[in-house]
Structure 1
C-alpha cells in the first residue's frame, strides 16, 4: 500500500479507557486495518489461507477477510482452546490458518492447546493477537503484559512484535512464506504510519537500524519503536544523539546486528518494550550481551512486574514509563 493511502486524523480524539482505544497521536498519519487488508491480498494469491477467530473478527480486522472469502472464514465462538485445536486440524490437512483473538486469551487461556496441538508438531499456523502489552485500559484481564515471555518459551514458535501499519502489512506475506507456527502481536483499527520515513522493509528474523546516534542506542520493538523515534527527535534539541534499532522479530533474535551495534563504544544501551521487564526483549538482549562478553551501560524501559491499573492509555503510559515524554526524561537522567 502506498504512502498516499495514509489518512491523517485532524480532529483531537477523546482519550478513554476503551478496549480498542487508538494509540495514534493527534494529527498522526494512520492506515485503517492494515492486517485485514494485507490478509485479503494474501488470500487472493494463496487459496489455502483461511481465517479463524473466537468471536473477535471485527475487533481483529479479520472481518475484512470474512467479507472477501466467506467460505474460508471460521467463527469458532468464545472458545479459544477449540480455536487452536481446530486450527491445528486444518493445518494437518494442508490449510494455512491465520488465527486471531486477543493476546491475553491466546497466551493465557489457550497456551496448552498451542503448545501441544500446534507447536509440538511444528504446524503452519499463524496466531495474530490484538491488544498486546499496554494497549488497552481495561486492566489485567485484557492487558497482555507477559505474552512475549510466554511465547518465547514455547519451542518452534516464531515471535513478532511489529511497530506500525507498514510493519504489519509487510509482516503478513513474510510469515505466510515461513513454514511453522508464528505468534504475532497486532495493532488493529487505525494504525499509525511511522516507518515510511526510514526506507524500511520487514524481514523475518532481522533487526533494522532506523537512525544513528553517538550517545544512546535504543533497542526496541512494537509501539516502543514509535516512542523511541519520537524521543530521538526530541533529544536532538539537547544535542543528544539517539540511535534506534528496531527489532520486530523477538524470536529468533537477530543477535548479530544487536551485538554489532552494542559493541560501538561510548553509548548507553536502552531496551524499550511494551511488555513486562520480565522475560521479554530486554532480558533477551541482556542475555545476548552477557553471553558474548559485551559489557556496556544498560537500562530497560518497560512495564513493571505487576498487575497494571485500568484507565486512559495516555495516563497509564505516563504512569508506567512507556510514553515518549517519560522515556525521554529517563534517558536524559541516565546519561547526565
Structure 2
C-alpha cells in the first residue's frame, strides 16, 4: 500500500472492503468494468457470488444498486468518480429521492487520473453530489482516514458518496487520534491567527503551509473537513471566531465545492474574510498528480501567499 513515502488510497480501500465483506453478509459490490483499476477486485476474489460487473453501463449500475437496496441488500457501487457522474440523473431519482441505502465509493477523483487528462478528472463531483437531498458526502484525507471511516460508512443507513484518489497520498493523519463520525470535522493542527480548512490529499499542503507560516509568526490552524455533508458547522464557526481569517483548499472546483460549503456556513453564522484555493478550469494530462496540483497552484505556496495577504 505504500510507495516510497506515499500511500495508495484505492489499494487501502479495496483490501479493507474485502475484509468487511466477511462480516457484512448483505454487502454486494457492483462495478462498471473498472474492478481492477478501483481495486474492487479484492472483493471479487473473496466473494464471487456477491460481485457484479455490469460493463460500461453506469446508469444501469445505479438502477441495479437501487433495486438491491429496495429489497434489503447493502449495495456498494465502486467506480471512477468521473464515470459515475454519467449516471447523475439515476443517482438523483433512483437513490437520493428514495433515500435508499446505496454506498457510492469512487476512486481516481480530482487530478489523480493524471495521465488520462481532463475527460477522466472529476473536479465537479462534490458540487453535484452535495446538492442532492439525503446524500452524504465524505472525503478521507489519506489511507488512515479510510481505515477510520469505512467500517462506519458501511453500517450507516442511506445514500453516501465517498470520494478517494488513486495512488498519490502523503501520510497526513498518521499519528492523529480521532474516531470518525459523520458530520464531524477534525483539528489536525491548532492555531490562532488563521485557519486553513479542506479535505483530501491537499491537506498535506495545508500542513506544510502552516509550518512555514509559523516561522513567519502566523499561528495557523488546520481543519480536516472529512464530512462535507453533513458539515460540522460548530467547528467551522468556532475557528472563524477564533482566528478571524479562513482559507479553504480543495482538489476540486471552487464553484460549489468545499469552499462554497464553508462560506455558506459562515455567511449565516459568522462572516469573516476568506480565500478559496482550488480548480477554476478543466485539468490536463501530466506525469503526476503532484505536477497538476503545482501547475494549477493548488499547493502550499498559494496558501502562504493568500495567508500573508489576509493577515496584512
Assess, with a 3 A threshold, how the Cα gap between structure 1 residues 190 and 222 changes in structure 2: closer, same or farther: closer
Task: Identify which of 161, 164, 175 aligns with 1:183.
Answer: 161
- Mapped contact 1:53–1:100 kept (Cα < 8 A): yes
Query: Deviation per CA, 1:40-83, whole angstroms, max 9, x where unpaired?
Result: 22111110001110011111111111111111111111110111
Query: Deviation per CA, 1:233-254, whole angstroms, max 9, x where unpaired?
Result: 2333223221001111111111
How many matched pairs? Answer: 310
- Mapped contact 2:78–2:104 kept (Cα < 8 A): yes
Aligned residue runs from structure 1 range 111-260, under 5 A: 111-137=88-114, 138-189=116-167, 191-260=169-238
Displacement after TM superposition at 1:189 (Å): 4.4
Task: Identify which of 43, 59, 70 aligns with 2:48.
Answer: 70
- 2-structure distance, mates of 1:233, 1:197: 17
2:253 corresponds to 1:276? yes
- 1-structure distance, mates of 2:169, 2:249: 20
Task: Identify which of 274, 299, 309 aligns with 1:323.
Answer: 299
- Mapped contact 1:61–1:188 kept (Cα < 8 A): no
- 1-structure distance, mates of 2:6, 2:283: 27
- 2-structure distance, mates of 1:127, 1:28: 25
- 2-structure distance, mates of 1:93, 1:80: 20
Query: Deviation per CA, 1:13-33, whole angstroms, max 9, x where unpaired?
Result: xxxxxxxxxxxxxx3466771
- 2-structure distance, mates of 1:51, 1:196: 28
Displacement after TM superposition at 1:190 (Å): 6.7
Secondary structure of residue in 2 paired with 1:110: helix
Specify the alignment match of 1:84 in structure 2.
Answer: 62
Secondary structure of residue in 2 paired with 1:256: helix
Secondary structure of residue in 2 paired with 1:263: helix
Assess, with a 3 A threshold, how the Cα gap between structure 1 residues 70 and 251 changes in structure 2: closer, same or farther: same
- 2-structure distance, mates of 1:181, 1:196: 28
Assess, with a 3 A threshold, how the Cα gap between structure 1 residues 150 and 98 changes in structure 2: closer, same or farther: same
**Structure 2 alignment gaps of length 5 or more:** none
- 2-structure distance, mates of 1:302, 1:188: 18
- 1-structure distance, mates of 2:263, 2:43: 40
Question: Post-superposition, which runs of at least 4 consecutive aligned residues in structure 1 deviate over 6 A?
Answer: none
| Structure 1, 31-40 or 75-84: larger mean CA deviation | 31-40
- Mapped contact 1:134–1:274 kept (Cα < 8 A): yes
- Mapped contact 1:33–1:190 kept (Cα < 8 A): no
2:31 corresponds to 1:53? yes
- 2-structure distance, mates of 1:32, 1:291: 37
Task: Identify which of 276, 285, 292 aligns with 1:310.
Answer: 285
- Mapped contact 2:110–2:165 kept (Cα < 8 A): no
Query: Deviation per CA, 1:180-211, whole angstroms, max 9, x where unpaired?
Result: 00011023447443212222332111001111
- 2-structure distance, mates of 1:243, 1:100: 34
- 2-structure distance, mates of 1:209, 1:191: 19
Assess, with a 3 A threshold, how the Cα gap between structure 1 residues 34 and 190 changes in structure 2: closer, same or farther: farther
- 2-structure distance, mates of 1:80, 1:31: 22
Assess, with a 3 A threshold, how the Cα gap between structure 1 residues 191 and 72 changes in structure 2: closer, same or farther: farther
Displacement after TM superposition at 1:158 (Å): 0.5
- 2-structure distance, mates of 1:226, 1:176: 27
Displacement after TM superposition at 1:335 (Å): 2.6
